[in-house]
Amino acid sequence: MKGKLIVIEGLDGSGKATQAALLAEALKARGCRVMQVSYPNYQSEAAGPVKMYLRGEFGQHPDDVNAYAASSLYAVDRFADYKKNWQQFYEQGGIVIADRYTTSNAVHQCSKKPPEEWQGFLDWLFDFEYEKIGIPAPDAVVYLRVDPTLSQKLMTGRYHGDESKKDIHEKDLDYLARSRAAAEHCAEAFGWRVVECEQSGEMKSVESIAQAVLHALQDLL
């Protein structure tokens, strides 16, 4: 019996890794078999081209690499990780919690195209990864909603003010704004479970967001 795949999605700086870890902890406390995965998997050789892309070796701006090419780089990384690390666990009924997944291609690469082309790209993307490549489609996607301005502030804090540590996505405010618009489209079009992460221009507490994530998944868990 196949398990469940739950994806935590959101803009850079939205707290995906933190919330994925807290969700895993909560489910383990209930006695569930849980595995966490995160993408890109920078420890894998399969992520080599992704790292080159994010370092700007193919161009200093995200739009220098078209949506289909960039998506293919990330898809190879996910396929390799699935085959090597969690396919058996998932197929034997385990719960896999992913910090980013194909949904990140939907958000970040869709934003490189005009809105009237989004649906065609998304149709291609999900067919490519879930049907052609054969990695599992998620059972649920939790979207951590954060304004791009706040996410930039949080990332600056993460890197202690050193802007040089940001990758080509994180540096580009216009790109992040377009990614937010694409994320909102995907959340509505595909029924992602939206969790509001800010209040009055500041992030809510980690604990309150974690509770909201669990609430958003209560019908699945």
Radius of gyration of the chain from its Cα atoms, rounded to whole angstroms:
17
Q: Where are the domains of the chain?
A: 4-216
Give CA–CA dist 170/155, Å, rounded. Answer: 8
List the end-to-end C-alpha distance of the chain, in Å, as a whole number. 16
Instruction: List, in order, residues 6 or more apart from 46 with CB less than 8 Å away.
Output: 76, 77, 79, 80, 81
- Whose CA is closest to 33, among 100, 86, 99? 86
Question: pLDDT tens digits for 151-186?
Answer: 667 666 565 555 555 566 666 678 888 899 999 999
Give the pLDDT of residue 155.
64
CB 140 within 8 A of CB 187: no
For residue 214, give the amino acid letter.
L
Question: pLDDT tens digits for 40-96?
Answer: 999 999 999 999 999 999 998 888 999 999 999 999 999 999 999 999 999 999 999
CATH code, residues 4-216: 3.40.50.300
Give CA–CA dist 188/153, Å, rounded. Answer: 26
- Fill in the DSSP letter of residue 100: S
For residue 53, give the amino acid letter.
Y
Give the pLDDT of residue 99.
98
Question: pLDDT tens digits for 107-131?
Answer: 999 989 999 999 999 999 999 999 9
Give CA–CA dist 89/135, Å, rounded. Answer: 14
